[in-house]
Amino acid sequence: MGPVLCGCLLLWTLHVPATQAAHPGIKARVTQRALDYGVQAGMEIMEQMVKQKHIPDLKGSETLEFLKIDYVNYNFSNIKIHTFSFPNTSLAFVPGVGIRALTNHGTANISADWEVRAPLFRDAGGADLFLSGVYFTGVIIPTQDAFSHPALKLQDCYAQVSHAQVSFTGDLSALYNTFAEPMEKPILRNLNAVLCPLISDEAAGLNTNLSSLEVLTKIDNFTLLDYSLISPPEITEHYLDLNLKGAFYPLEDLTDPRFSPEPFDLPEHSDSMLYIGISEYLFRSASLAHFAAGAFSVTLSTKEISNHLIQNSQGIGNVFSRLADLYILFQPLVLRIMATEPPVVRLQPGNFSLEIPASAILLTQPQNSSELEPIVSMDFVASTSVGLAILGQRLICSLSLNRFRLSVPESNRSDIKVLRFENILSSILHFGVLPLANTKLQQGFPLPQPYNISLVNSDIEVLEGFVLISTDLKYEMSSRQQPSFHGLGDLNLIRGQGMGQPAP
């Protein structure tokens, strides 16, 4: 049952508390390929954890009629699983219900200390136990607790071990092994009676971890991203869909955006393990949240522009000599650029664009004065293309300038000063401001990342109204981290971040 629980856990840690929203900002689809890989990853986890797993003592009392002994109290303690095999383990979707887990023909080699007490004697020693015909079936239901935290519910549990072979060790092992076979039936009976309760206890232990999942992650010094689940999972024969809120907020204001997400459907693909759809709503909320938090504002001095402005064909000196020539002023010059409205996001097939309405103010600082005096102020609109990539476990955006135009009356479009300032400002945006912005954007925002799972073989596609990420999963056990059923370490999707903690 361990691989089954672990496999389901790897696929269920996307769940977070429920909120109310008509449509999601993020959709995540888990396919059958992911379930199959969950079983494989669960086996790897089991190999690490079974050596440390504490198994309760197995106690009982039996009458040994063939020895004319009224009763024998026995206790198997210090039980350790050394090897195991579950060759036929599977997970499958049950439409509208959950995930059915099945394993059969399992085997396990176990060692234990034993102690027996009878009216006429008492003894202790060691024993090896070989279990075969291990069978389990049950339905794992993703659900929520009373506080809207995610939870796993086990339903229709049935577990049985068909055969048990006991081999005693010790000074009198030859004697005890003569009546080992009669002991196997009561051992099996007691073992089978506690299997489902043990498995339910493990599920309860996982729920303790799941109940501590955080729903908000701090993306940068301006915003939070909400991953909250807005509806129960949708389970079909071939996949499980999770609908997440996917909204950005300023750090100190969790008010929903004034616009609502539009519905979108993920393509009926199944080649990848996981599909993540990120709607235009998420990017629009990111634009609004950053604008409200004052993130779209930059002030650059001559020195700062010189440090960051990539050398173009005309050179740095040429740019500033043209500025000085245009306004007949001495340095230092200061350029202040700020968005006047939230940037407009558009997602169309094969094209992700961002239109930024902004203003630019050129200032100078007169000698013997601490005040900046404006020279000229103009509004402009910069149209950019947005490139997308997955770096580590984050979605990274980068901007490139497509078009730039000053917002001036048509009657002034022929003014030579306007045209020259437009060209200069375009160069500064293209070679100075956008590289600075892209450096900031390299932080990206974290994609849903279950416990110790990396995204591999990822592909990004821009569709109408949303971005589609297709990816496989890879489980990696940290050499410093040993898992346990009741404390699966770093389970948190958001790595336990709160509003005051930085993103990783």
pLDDT at 486: 34
pLDDT at 413: 52
**Residue 354: C-alpha distances to residues 285, 344, 364, 434 (Å):** 13, 6, 31, 13
The b/e string for 128-164 (b: 16+ C-beta within 10 A; e otherwise) is ebebeebbbebbbbbebeeeebbbbebeebebebeeb
Kindly state the tokens that stand for 260.
């609502």
pLDDT at 248: 94
For the chain of 504 residues, list the mean pLDDT of each consecutive stretch of 10.
47 43 87 91 71 74 62 82 87 94 90 82 85 92 69 88 86 70 79 85 76 77 86 90 91 90 93 94 95 88 62 49 51 82 95 93 77 80 92 86 75 58 76 81 74 84 95 73 35 29 34
CA geometry: angle 280, 285, 288, nearest 5 deg? 125
What are the residue ranges of helices labelled H in 233-330? 280-292, 302-308, 316-327
Residue 161: which residues within 8 A CB-CB, separation 6 or more?
131, 132, 133, 134, 135, 188, 191, 192, 195
Kindly state the tokens that stand for 399.
């901007």
pLDDT at 488: 29
DSSP per residue, 209-224: HHTT--SEEE-SSSEE
pLDDT at 17: 41
The whole-angstrom separation of Cα 26 and Cα 467 is 10
pLDDT at 67: 54
SS3 call for 493: coil
- Could you tell me the end-to-end alpha-carbon distance of the chain, in angstroms, rounded to an integer? 33
The CATH superfamily holding the domain 297-342+350-452 is Bactericidal permeability-increasing protein; domain 2 (3.15.20.10)
pLDDT at 14: 43
32 with 238: CB under 8 angstroms? yes
Structural domain boundaries in the chain: 297-342+350-452
pLDDT at 292: 93
For the question of whether the overall pTM of this predicted structure is more than 0.85, the answer is: no
- DSSP-derived pairing of the beta strands 466-475 and 453-463: antiparallel
Kindly state the tokens that stand for 433.
């401001």
**What does the DSSP 8-state code read for residue 170?**
S
pLDDT at 319: 53
What is the torsional sign of CA 454, 28, 152, 501?
A: positive
CA of residue 307 relative to chain centroid, distance:
37
Residue with tokens 């993920």: 266
pLDDT at 309: 55
